[in-house]
Structure 1
Amino acid sequence: MKRGVMLVPLTLIVAIVMSALAVVRTKHENRGLVTQLESLRTERERLDMEWAQLQLEEATLANNNRVEHIARQKLGMIEPPDYVIVQERSR
């Protein structure tokens, strides 16, 4: 009978130790996930800033005045003086 009486406290001690180990493991995993989350948030902020800069650059490059200036200066393009229709010659 003494053996049965000792089995209950021993079982409870094992359960407590296992529970404590599970808590420690869970806290460790939680800390790792929080660290990963902060890292991802920092990366997201960096990417958001880069995206905003790229949108600004795109808007600057697509500016009509800039495109017209490049067309005139670098490519030598001009506006036609009048509306001209060029007909294809038949062969």
Structure 2
Amino acid sequence: MSRGLYLGLTTVILAAAVLVAAIAVVDSRHQARKLFAELQQLQKERDELDIDWGRLRLEQSTYATYGLIETTAREELQMKVPSPEEIVIVQQP
């Protein structure tokens, strides 16, 4: 094989390798951008869910207050504190 043909073939192989590496770099950057955009979207969703979680915890603590439970039991369910005669103690066998 002549030296000129050898250098030409080497140049073509190296150029192809550089082209493949360049395409790999472009694809890698594209994937990184896509993943970063997805990460930002997921972080936004997480922040929204954290806000909802805090709101729901506050709402739950409001509903769990004794006064609200008692008022709801009396007004909506027409419940009352039983008199001593109405209390029945049941023992398990």
| TM-score with structure 1 setting the length | 0.83
Q: What corresponds to 1:75 in structure 2?
A: 77
Query: Deviation of residue 83 (structure 1)?
Result: 7.1
Q: What corresponds to 1:56 in structure 2?
A: 58
Identity %: 34
Structural RMSD (CA): 2.1
Query: Deviation of residue 4 (structure 1)?
Result: 1.2
- Could you tell me which amino acid in structure 2 is paired with residue 15 of structure 1? A
Distance in 2 (CA, whole Å) between partners of 1:65 and 1:45 is 33
What is the correspondence of 1:1-91 to structure 2 with a 5 Å cutoff? Answer: 1=2, 2-82=4-84, 85-86=87-88
Query: Deviation of residue 86 (structure 1)?
Result: 3.7
Query: Deviation of residue 25 (structure 1)?
Result: 0.5
Distance in 2 (CA, whole Å) between partners of 1:69 and 1:6 is 92
Structure 2 unaligned regions, length at least 5? none
- Could you tell me which amino acid in structure 2 is paired with residue 3 of structure 1? L
